[in-house]
Structure 1
Amino acid sequence: MTWLPRADNAGNTAVHPTRTHAIVVAVERYEDPKWNVSGPYSDARAFISWLVNACQVPEKNITLLSSALSHDRADDGRAALPGGIDLLPADSTTVSRLLQEELTTLEADLLWVFWSGHGLIDTNGEHVLLLADSTPLTKRGVGVDSLQRALQSKRVGSHQGAGVAKVAVAINACQNQPWIDHIAKTELLVSHTYVTDRGLFVLHACSTGQKARVAPRDMQRDGTAASLFPRMLLRYLDDGSADVLPDLLQVSESVDAEFVRLRQAGLTSQTPSTLRRNWSGKTAVTGTFAHPPTEREQRLADLLCDVLPNARIRDACAQRLTAGVTAVVRVSDDSETPTVEQLVTAAARVHHGVPTLLDLLPSLPEVCFDAEHLSELRAAAEDLRPDEFLTGGEHVELVVLLASLDIEDLRILAGYDRRLRPHLPSMPTDAAHLVRAFEAAGYRTDAASMPILLRFVALVAAEAGSPTSTTANGLRAWCDRVAGRLRLAPQTVSAHWSEAVLDAARRRCETAWILIEVTIDDPEADPGKAAYACSAWLLDPATGPQRLDYPSGYFTWRQTHQLVAELLEPYIAVRSVDLAVEFFLPESHLELQVERIPLRHRGADNVHLGTIVPVVVRCAHRHAGRRIPQQWTARWQECGKVSTVSDEQHWLVHDAADLFSLRDALVDRPDVGCVELIGGHLEFTPALVCCVQSGVPVLTWHRRLDDRRPGGDLSHLRRSVPPSRLPEEVRQLRADTSTWSEAHHLVLLWDDPQRLPPRLRLRTPGRIASHDRHR
């Protein structure tokens, strides 16, 4: 038979048999002989026969963990197994090693897990599968919840779990609660943060409190399953299609319907159940669940007894609970009304069930309780499910809102908040799984805290766009409702929301600027030889301009270096967004080497400012008035255009010594956005003033140093860097001396007519006596 690709009802392509692996467990013989049972080995052989013979799964892809009874057979029944199957003992050591170590290199589209043997419900309400090394004094087993976490963990599949796409599980084991002195559970050591979003589908032979029926020994036939559930399951799995992964939802519904007919005929009381199917990102529950309440569940149930005193109220509670979450409430055999314990255990075993149960209580008829009683209920509920605080409705609403956003990767966005990073899933995931991961971080009840999930929602809403955005407003309303239900302080939520909005504005605007205006006492002095006074502002795109504290008075240029460094160092060290520094210099001092101001940065002294952050220079005189000539706007717009020809049409390269020719060239080339000054002239200031007065907003040139100027041109910048990115490009050139040895002498004059510095009242400096200067 040749395998041909097919598609299920959902349009998913069938899994190839050679990409299918299976773990089959059959536990018949125990170290405590009283627990020996006949049938699981036959169940395992029938399941393996379907995989190999019907679906063409290679024998080497199947691992069998078995402790079979011989039943007085000479060959122990093992001759019926295909020869290539790996046979291992079904004890706790093997199971632990297999799930934690030996599956880490597995590459598979599908991993089938079939388990047949004894099972029970322990005193904590967990379903436990017993292993072959169970002794008369100690029963050894593995919890089904731990098994599911292990099968969804990074330890299963290569590339941190990415090597296995889906896992299908069928468990044929009882779920009753016999008296057991002690159960030693095999610890699989899988934390919540280690679990991936791998698809999982789990089928159980029975519901809580029931036994899985096994055919009597004399009615077991070779080649067929001995237990009722595997026999029914294989009937619908082996439909002749040779598909190793048929539509399991349809298969489970067919098995359920078959068991309904058997129960109606009085042939069995067994009810199969499906605890989880989340290949489509959703969780569904079928079957009946009557878990005995754990100690924490009983505490919540005791507190609810007075709140839900009669059958009518409990029945209304059960109906609204199942409408809010997929919770199946088992009712007693002699009554159609659930008990309080049944309501609590049903809610505790589905996602968001407990918060939903408490949230619906105030809306029930004839229910009343005081604030103290409500506080006790909430405390008991938080203790019961500390990793969940959303109700079912809140979870669905949030996932829908997040899915409607036009944000490509929410994980990258969440990384902006350092408190969210430790809770990010390691693998790419969708909105529903991100919400689950952040919700699992929990929340504190103190008024000053902000739950991780609500921090994430505020971050996403702030990034969603304008305050008028429908989705952003929906997220804000959702956040306020949840915060109110959790009794979080409104001022805490509001403060964090405002902080998120400011951070988002900073990210959108990319750069914050520190503006430093330099004034001089003697305009006729050479650059660096006068006395200087400074005023500084922080222009934050989120908060607007604010005046920075700078010492008053006039200082030498060397002293000015130190004062500017003391001003800038704290901002450079702690800024969470990009920062640039802009100097406004007088016309006669445009060649001050401000980019060479030394700072202490990351433990190193005398690091040039221009190698740390973008540094640009503007002419202070240009902005003495408020009028913006049209030529400035036109030339600035030219800077945003991309040159499509080889002659770099938006640049003018000119000798700084020939001022008359430079003026004529600027008049003849109104399309020029940038000018590069070249030549060996010692004094560049007249050429700089000429360019500023002509409205050239961006200017690069080689700086005079010790009466000499480095040679070469800036063609690599003209050809490859848009003018708007020149500040950052120049900073990188200065920082990377191996790229260009002359980068430290490169200076950028920048003038944006669309952004003026803050207009604050400054006293007009006059000439002061030399003995008053701090030289």
Structure 2
Amino acid sequence: MTDGSPAAEPSITPERTFALVVGVESYEIDARLNLPGPARDAVRFADWLTGTAGVPKGNVRLLLSPLADTGVEVASKPATQKNVEDALFTDLPRCEGDLLWIYWAGHGFLDRRHDLLLPYADATAGLFAHLNLSSALRRWKSDEIAGGRFHRTVTVGDACRLDIGRLKGKFSQVNYPTGAPTRRMQFTLYASRPGETAKNTVRAGQFTDTLLRRLEGRTLEQATLGLSDIARDVQADFTVMRADGTAWQHPQFDIALGWDGSSLHGDTWADGGTPRGQTGGLVLDQVAWTELGQLISEETELPRDTYAAYRWAFEVTGCVPPAVHTLPSSDLVEIVRDLDDRQGASRAVPLALPFVKHLASRAAPSPWVVAANAWVERTRARLGADPVPVPPSRPVESPALHVRLTEDDENSYRLQLWSFQGVGTTWATFRNPWSWKPCGRRSPITS
């Protein structure tokens, strides 16, 4: 029997820690993409895991594709699509572990959703095969990973985050199957901001080099629970290096906890909290997620009132909204997933329902609006949630007149008037001559 108290967070032990460590230097697609350094960095990171951190070597999946002259001679499998996907989606999910570390060094690109795409060593011009790291992490946060395993995932990406437009047409769309969201904690540390390159110095990643110095001497538990402070120390190191001209990138970190009171982009990582499902919060079921996937396609663009709908969902349910005034994603389904992750103990209504209803209320009449409202009501009734209030109307902007007066020449002025109201803007331009006298007044001349 149990006393009904929440289950304790599993302790962090090396024996129940597993890792995927990847370093890609050699690319089949084009020798010009070859990148000295990542394989050596991956070996150094694996050495920290199996050394100071104490993770058994048998728990680390090391995949390397080194260049011939880099001197990396460690037993490993090549970083091909098959080997990476076998390790990440078949092998590791079957392991009895509590903590997963993922380390990747190599090239990286961002797609239009800001998903991080990491090319494999066997990427070719015809098929730029890649790991969609962001999608993979979403899969690892869902019930596709058996319950009771891997409560924490730590991901370190020493890769550029360049716009995919640079290699337009070479990346296929990759999204891995996900189930219902689960309460798993994820910490992701990136080497750079979106749009930035990650710098190599003397065949070593500057980011990995800096991070390993901060990890030196720390046990696995100290490193894992202290990740927020370690990440800030790394950021501070790069601030100093940028100031002296030896660095240009800005490392970033992202925390996803998945329950009310813990921002997905906040600082709470060490606190285990209450596992999802034990708070009593009312969240979407699998039927709702399946139907939502049919309602919202990946190509659906964000409506102009998406952020208003997002904030209203918190307001109308009495939940505390995130401190950061930004959307968590540019993808509607991921925004709904974010809302569902943030659901607290309230059983009144899932945050996702008022969000979708608000979007439907602001859209032009269409079959989609009918389907969206039907989904909200059908889901509400099935889950036993309270009725969703009527969303507020779009506020009407007060009429305004903007006037600009500029001197055309020594004898005339140019008058421009703009008037607008609501969402539309109209403007007209008028040219009126004015006389000017050095010691007199300006007076209009009728024409």
Secondary structure, counterpart of 2:151 in structure 1:
strand
In 1, Cα distance between equivalents of 2:18 and 2:305: 33
| 1:30-55 per-position Cα deviation (integer Å, ceiling 9, x unaligned) | 11322111111111111111111111
Please say if residues 313 and 354 of structure 2, whose CA atoms lie closer than 8 Å, have aligned partners that are also in contact.
Answer: no
Q: Cα gap change, 1:172/1:390 in structure 2, threshold over 3 Å: closer, same or farther? A: same
Secondary structure, counterpart of 1:55 in structure 2:
coil
In 2, Cα distance between equivalents of 1:29 and 1:439: 49
The match for 2:73 is 77
Q: Cα gap change, 1:109/1:428 in structure 2, threshold over 3 Å: closer, same or farther? A: farther
Give the aligned residue type for 1:198.
R
Which of 53, 56, 59 aligns to 2:54? It is: 56
Give the aligned residue type for 2:144.
R
In 1, Cα distance between equivalents of 2:341 and 2:197: 39
In 2, Cα distance between equivalents of 1:92 and 1:435: 38
| 1:636-673 per-position Cα deviation (integer Å, ceiling 9, x unaligned) | xxxxxxxxxxxxxxxxxxxxxxxxxxxxxxxxxxxxxx
* Cα deviation, residue 153, structure 1: 3.1
Q: Cα gap change, 1:457/1:238 in structure 2, threshold over 3 Å: closer, same or farther? A: farther
Please say if residues 141 and 183 of structure 1, whose CA atoms lie closer than 8 Å, have aligned partners that are also in contact.
Answer: no
In 2, Cα distance between equivalents of 1:402 and 1:72: 52
The match for 1:115 is 104
The match for 1:200 is 186
Give the aligned residue type for 2:184.
R
Aligned ranges 1:630-641 → 2 under 5 Å: none
Q: Cα gap change, 1:96/1:483 in structure 2, threshold over 3 Å: closer, same or farther? A: farther
The match for 1:187 is 174
Aligned ranges 1:321-400 → 2 under 5 Å: 383-384=301-302, 391-398=309-316, 400=318
TM-score of the aligned structures, taking structure 1 as reference length: 0.37
Please say if residues 128 and 170 of structure 2, whose CA atoms lie closer than 8 Å, have aligned partners that are also in contact.
Answer: yes
Q: Cα gap change, 1:439/1:387 in structure 2, threshold over 3 Å: closer, same or farther? A: farther
| 1:592-639 per-position Cα deviation (integer Å, ceiling 9, x unaligned) | xxxxxxxxxxxxxxxxxxxxxxxxxxxxxxxxxxxxxxxxxxxxxxxx
The match for 1:255 is 234
The match for 1:282 is 263
The match for 1:151 is 140
The match for 1:213 is 199
Greater helix share, 1 or 2? 1
* Cα deviation, residue 398, structure 1: 4.8
Please say if residues 197 and 429 of structure 1, whose CA atoms lie closer than 8 Å, have aligned partners that are also in contact.
Answer: no
In 1, Cα distance between equivalents of 2:247 and 2:126: 32
Aligned ranges 1:128-143 → 2 under 5 Å: 128-143=117-132
* Cα deviation, residue 239, structure 1: 4.5
Greater relative CO (CA pairs within 8 A, separation 6+):
2
Please say if residues 38 and 105 of structure 2, whose CA atoms lie closer than 8 Å, have aligned partners that are also in contact.
Answer: yes
* Cα deviation, residue 119, structure 1: 1.1
Please say if residues 39 and 214 of structure 1, whose CA atoms lie closer than 8 Å, have aligned partners that are also in contact.
Answer: yes
| 1:227-269 per-position Cα deviation (integer Å, ceiling 9, x unaligned) | 1111222222335344251322111111111111111122211
Q: Cα gap change, 1:111/1:72 in structure 2, threshold over 3 Å: closer, same or farther? A: closer
Secondary structure, counterpart of 2:197 in structure 1:
coil
Aligned ranges 1:464-475 → 2 under 5 Å: none
Please say if residues 138 and 182 of structure 1, whose CA atoms lie closer than 8 Å, have aligned partners that are also in contact.
Answer: no
Confirm whether residue 227 of structure 1 aligns to residue 227 of structure 2. Answer: no
Q: Cα gap change, 1:428/1:266 in structure 2, threshold over 3 Å: closer, same or farther? A: closer
| 1:320-349 per-position Cα deviation (integer Å, ceiling 9, x unaligned) | xxxxxxxxxxxxxxxxxxxxxxxxxxxxxx
Which consecutive unaligned segments of at least 5 residues does structure 2 have?
1-7, 268-298, 322-336, 396-447
Q: Cα gap change, 1:437/1:66 in structure 2, threshold over 3 Å: closer, same or farther? A: farther
The match for 1:270 is 249
Identity in percent:
25
In 1, Cα distance between equivalents of 2:62 and 2:205: 18
In 2, Cα distance between equivalents of 1:432 and 1:34: 55
| 1:429-487 per-position Cα deviation (integer Å, ceiling 9, x unaligned) | 74599846557877645576636557777999986xxxxxxxxxxx97xx33x35459x
Give the aligned residue type for 2:211.
L
In 1, Cα distance between equivalents of 2:314 and 2:342: 20
Give the aligned residue type for 1:255.
V
Secondary structure, counterpart of 1:104 in structure 2:
helix
Please say if residues 21 and 111 of structure 1, whose CA atoms lie closer than 8 Å, have aligned partners that are also in contact.
Answer: yes
Larger Rg: 1
Secondary structure, counterpart of 2:235 in structure 1:
helix
Which of 13, 18, 24 aligns to 1:16? It is: 13
In 2, Cα distance between equivalents of 1:102 and 1:168: 18
Please say if residues 312 and 355 of structure 2, whose CA atoms lie closer than 8 Å, have aligned partners that are also in contact.
Answer: no
In 2, Cα distance between equivalents of 1:51 and 1:145: 23
In 2, Cα distance between equivalents of 1:427 and 1:392: 13
* Cα deviation, residue 285, structure 1: 7.4
Please say if residues 258 and 342 of structure 2, whose CA atoms lie closer than 8 Å, have aligned partners that are also in contact.
Answer: no
Aligned ranges 1:645-724 → 2 under 5 Å: none
The match for 1:166 is 152
In 2, Cα distance between equivalents of 1:105 and 1:263: 43
Task: Count residues in correspondence.
Answer: 328
In 2, Cα distance between equivalents of 1:64 and 1:441: 43
Give the aligned residue type for 1:165.
H
The match for 2:64 is 66
Secondary structure, counterpart of 1:397 in structure 2:
helix
Give the aligned residue type for 1:189.
Y
Give the aligned residue type for 2:257.
N
Q: Cα gap change, 1:270/1:450 in structure 2, threshold over 3 Å: closer, same or farther? A: same
Q: Cα gap change, 1:78/1:440 in structure 2, threshold over 3 Å: closer, same or farther? A: farther
Please say if residues 92 and 186 of structure 1, whose CA atoms lie closer than 8 Å, have aligned partners that are also in contact.
Answer: no
Secondary structure, counterpart of 2:171 in structure 1:
strand
Give the aligned residue type for 1:109.
D
Which of 209, 214, 237 aligns to 1:236? It is: 214
* Cα deviation, residue 63, structure 1: 0.6
Q: Cα gap change, 1:485/1:197 in structure 2, threshold over 3 Å: closer, same or farther? A: farther
* Cα deviation, residue 270, structure 1: 0.7
Which consecutive unaligned segments of at least 5 residues does structure 1 have?
1-10, 80-86, 218-225, 287-380, 404-422, 464-474, 487-775
In 2, Cα distance between equivalents of 1:95 and 1:385: 36
In 1, Cα distance between equivalents of 2:86 and 2:318: 40
In 2, Cα distance between equivalents of 1:384 and 1:62: 40
Please say if residues 150 and 188 of structure 1, whose CA atoms lie closer than 8 Å, have aligned partners that are also in contact.
Answer: no
Aligned ranges 1:479-498 → 2 under 5 Å: 479-480=389-390, 482=391, 484-485=393-394
Please say if residues 142 and 185 of structure 1, whose CA atoms lie closer than 8 Å, have aligned partners that are also in contact.
Answer: no
Q: Cα gap change, 1:265/1:279 in structure 2, threshold over 3 Å: closer, same or farther? A: farther
The match for 1:532 is none
TM-score of the aligned structures, taking structure 2 as reference length: 0.61
Please say if residues 109 and 166 of structure 1, whose CA atoms lie closer than 8 Å, have aligned partners that are also in contact.
Answer: yes
Give the aligned residue type for 2:207.
F
Q: Cα gap change, 1:62/1:455 in structure 2, threshold over 3 Å: closer, same or farther? A: same
